[in-house]
Amino acid sequence: MGSRDLAAIALKELRKESQDIYNRIHSIAEDAEFVKQVHRYYRNLPLLPNMRCGAWYTDPDIVRRRASSERAYFKSTDGHTNNWSFNLRRPNLHILPLIVQHHGLILVDSTRAGKRIPDALSKTVPIWCAVINRAFQLRQSQPSGVDIWDTALYTPPGVVSAQEHHHIEQKLDAWAAELAESFYELPMLQHPLRPIWITPATTTFPSISVSTLLFYPIVCLSASKLVADGLERRANGFAYIQGSGDDHELWSMGLTPTIFWKNRSVLLNATRSAIPALVQSLLSDFDVPHGAASDTRLIPIAHVSGLLSILSTSTLRSAIPFLSSSRLASVWLTSNDPSHLLSTNAIEPSSLLCIQSPMGKRGQHHFLQTVLPRSMPFIEAHLLRGNRVCIACENGLDIGVGLCLAVLTKLFYDDGSLILHTDKRTALSKSVLRTRLHWIISSDPTANPSRTTLKRVNEFLLSPSCMRSGKDQELAE
């Protein structure tokens, strides 16, 4: 057997170990202890996971003490080299009041082999801080009570090169202007935001004193230790995998951060061979569809005074108590057989439109050709009768948001009032679509319609019906 064959076998074994769920959950547990150590040092700062990866490392009980149910959504792709962005579809403005209230924040994430700090923490968050600071200055002219308002870009030395730092810096003013001119509201900031970084290699944690600091510290905590090849064997029987919480679809067998933390002790005490069966048992007990939200939340769109709401729910059946109001009409979008929903006596049939929509590419064509044309007249009729309307789908994040966006764009004025006369409709444009999407995100920061869904809404509203092919066109964003 040649050296090339041996190398291939070694690589195969390495990959096998890196995907092993036993190694993963024990690695996560080790990193979570480091996160707790940092939180104890900065005990007055709320701890927040950067979704999705950060949720594996943050004890929900600690998060709830100060941050309630808030989550952050800083994407690494917005910090990738030559792809830097401040994305108004995920502005993370909902965490600013938390930062102001507690004079800072600990944000948790991790990264896989080859890096100490994920791009989300080394570049996306620094971009966010600098853009927020500059946009706030644009709106306030000179922030009150502050002699010098720091708008500089701060990036971690040795992680972001001087050249890359400079290139990012050149884009900040344009992003800040877009934010300042947008629909979004910025809370009153007494200090600018500034990121600082902590990793397992940090020997001394930076000192933070609320009384003397001239900025709100955003502690960017990279939870995982940098190890050679991303794997390091431990004496107690597992292989440490750097960034184990990343890409959990590849290794988790359906396990989620919520289920992991609820059953942490039993999982960590199980043998390697017992883990797969244990996970399946926990999943069946939890009884939530894979990838779905674990709760049911009715989210009113504030800018239209709650006339339109999105329902984020794990199962449409569990939503029935939310939708039985006599003054609430409902559109239910489901990939499952809706017959059991239609047979319920809790909801007046005339107040319910239930559409079964397939998943995947067929679902997107169906969304354009069936869901939007059938839903819009139903929703408009109920709004004109003075009813509120709720749009429910199985995760409350994608096609339900897309339908909500179409309704807000076509049936509401810029001030949030309902259009009562068809001859006085607002002229439709991509700019109007963007603003309406910002209305939704302001009320529900988790709303995350796919690019394809947004394209379908664009096509439905801006193209003649005879030209709606369902093929990709330029996105509104």
**Lowest-pLDDT range of 261-270, 400-409, 464-473:** 464-473
The top-scoring range by mean pLDDT among 321-330, 347-356, 375-384 is 375-384
Res. 454: pLDDT tops 80: yes
pLDDT tier at 292 (50, 70, 90 boundaries)? very low
CB neighbour list of residue 2: distance below 8 Å, 6 or more residues apart: none
Domains in the chain (CATH in brackets) are 17-252 (no CATH), 299-465 (3.90.190.10)
Res. 476: pLDDT tops 50: no
Q: Average pLDDT in the 405-427 region?
A: 86
Res. 289: pLDDT tops 60: no
CA distance 432 to 411: 12
pLDDT in tens, 318-327: 666 666 666 7
CA distance 170 to 176: 11
Res. 290: pLDDT tops 50: no
User: Whose CA is closest to 128, among 63, 73, 185, 189?
Assistant: 73
pLDDT in tens, 173-196: 999 999 999 999 999 999 999 999
CA distance 268 to 275: 9
The count of C-alpha atoms lying within 13 angstroms of the C-alpha of 178, restricted to the half-sphere facing its C-beta, is: 18
Res. 284: pLDDT tops 50: yes
Residues 196, 215: contact at Cβ < 8 Å?
no
Q: Which residues of 404-413 are buried (b: 16+ CB within 10 A; e: fewer)?
A: bbbbbbbbbe
Distance, first Cα to last Cα, the chain? 54
Q: What are φ and ψ of residue 216, in 5° steps?
A: -85, 115
Selected residue with higher pLDDT from 92 and 476: 92
Which pLDDT score is estimated for 335? Answer: 79
DSSP strands (E only) in 67-215: 105-109, 193-198
Which pLDDT score is estimated for 400? Answer: 92
What is the chain's mean pLDDT, rounded?
A: 86
CA distance 19 to 13: 10
Res. 415: pLDDT tops 80: yes
Q: Average pLDDT in the 448-468 region?
A: 84
User: Whose CA is closest to 121, among 243, 255, 283, 301?
Assistant: 243
Res. 7: pLDDT tops 60: no
CA distance 450 to 453: 5
pLDDT in tens, 221-230: 999 999 887 7
pLDDT tier at 346 (50, 70, 90 boundaries)? low
Q: Average pLDDT in the 129-137 region?
A: 96
Q: What are φ and ψ of residue 329, in 5° steps?
A: -95, 155
CA distance 353 to 370: 12
How many C-beta neighbours within 10 Å does residue 40 have? 9
Res. 466: pLDDT tops 70: no
In the block, tokens 């030559």 appear at: 82
Q: Which 8-state DSSP code applies to residue 398?
A: S
**Lowest-pLDDT range of 12-16, 24-28, 172-176, 199-203:** 12-16
Task: Determine the residue type at 325.
Answer: S
pLDDT tier at 376 (50, 70, 90 boundaries)? very high
